[in-house]
């Protein structure tokens, strides 16, 4: 997932799991030249919304092991990661990241949605849980969207 990769890069570069928001923005905009400072701030907002980082009093803490993420040589994130993703998209990405083929997951989720008479987000949560994924945050978002 390129969002996770982009978020991990500054933490890997600094060898830490916490840094100031300004350090994060500088790392992505000036050091790596991936984004403008405003875009780097937007990325921080998206990452916080996805639960990848927490923010408190100008500090950013990564919520996953950044050393467990490979930042490929020549990697440049696409600007599309600056957009908030729907709950369904988040769950689908988690399924694909866990090794499920995207088309198969969508087909199964659509089938569940029809069989259970629920929203696509609720069906995605059910399917992901059946596949053994922890989607507690997504389940809460899906419930909130009802």
Residue labelled with tokens 């991990």? 8
Query: CA-CA-CA-CA torsion for 129, 135, 136, 141, nearest 10 degrees?
Result: -120
Predicted confidence (pLDDT) per residue in 116-135, tens digit: 888 898 899 999 999 998 88
CATH class of 3-82: mainly alpha
Q: What is the pLDDT of residues 29-67, one digit of tens each?
A: 999 999 999 999 999 988 988 889 999 999 999 999 999
Is residue 72 scored above 60 in pLDDT?
yes
The secondary structure element, H or E, covering residue 50 is: none
pLDDT computed for residue 82 by the predictor: 86
* Domain boundaries of the chain, sorted by first residue: 3-82, 87-145
**pTM (2 d.p.):** 0.65
């Amino acid at each position: 997932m390129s969002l996770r990769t982009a978020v991990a890069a500054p933490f890997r570069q600094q060898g830490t799991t916490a840094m100031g928001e300004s350090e994060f923005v500088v790392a992505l905009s000036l050091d790596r030249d991936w984004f403008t400072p405003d875009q780097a701030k937007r990325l921080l907002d998206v990452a916080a919304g996805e639960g990848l980082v927490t923010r408190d009093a100008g500090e950013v803490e990564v919520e996953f092991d950044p050393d467990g993420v490979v930042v490929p040589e020549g990697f440049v994130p696409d600007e599309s990661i600056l957009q908030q993703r729907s709950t369904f998209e988040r769950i689908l990405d988690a399924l694909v990241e866990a090794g499920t083929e995207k088309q198969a997951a969508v087909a199964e989720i659509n089938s569940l949605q029809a069989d259970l008479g629920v929203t696509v987000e609720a069906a995605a949560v059910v399917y992901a849980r059946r596949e053994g994924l922890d989607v507690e945050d997504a389940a809460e978002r899906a419930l909130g969207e009802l």
